[in-house]
Amino acid sequence: MALLKINFATIEEFRLLPRIDAKRVTLLLQLRAKYGQLDEELFSIVFGGPVPRNVLDMIDFTSYIYKMLMFHSKQRKGRSCLAMIMPLISGILRVLPQVRSSLERSPILTSLQHCSHR
């Protein structure tokens, strides 16, 4: 089985994971809708405790926000790092505290801090 992109997964794809029944799928979808994405911590809450390594090895927790940023940065090769979408990021961080919390735990913030504006 290929890695399950948990922040893009459908109901059917979630059900492919061990110990994830319909009730847990519903909870995962609700948490993803509320927080914008799922991470290992939220998944472990739904899983009912520490997630075994073999299950974690089946999951890609990459944020959809991270993927969006990387896509936009590749589209604008002439601009420095991610500078062209910094206003978008600033707006998101001001408006959505839960997204800010997720970003602070991700490699995105580190990348943004190293960007220079030209």
CB 40 within 8 A of CB 61: yes
Q: Virtual CA dihedral for 86, 87, 90, 96, nearest 10 degrees? A: -120
Please report, in tens digits, the pLDDT of each residue of the chain (118 residues total): 689 999 889 999 999 999 999 999 999 999 888 887 888 999 999 988 999 999 999 999 887 665 555 655 555 555 555 565 666 666 666 655 555 555 555 555 555 545 444 4
Strand partners, 110: none
Please name the residue that has the structure tokens 């896509």. Answer: 71
pTM of the predicted structure, to 2 decimals: 0.56
Per-residue pLDDT, 118: 42
Per-residue pLDDT, 33: 85
Q: CA of 97: how far to CAs of 31, 46, 66, 93, 103, in Å?
A: 15, 22, 16, 6, 10
Q: Where are the alpha helices (DSSP H) in 15-106?
A: 22-35, 40-47, 53-56, 64-75, 86-95, 97-104
Residue ranges covered by each domain of the chain: 4-60, 64-113
Per-residue pLDDT, 83: 60
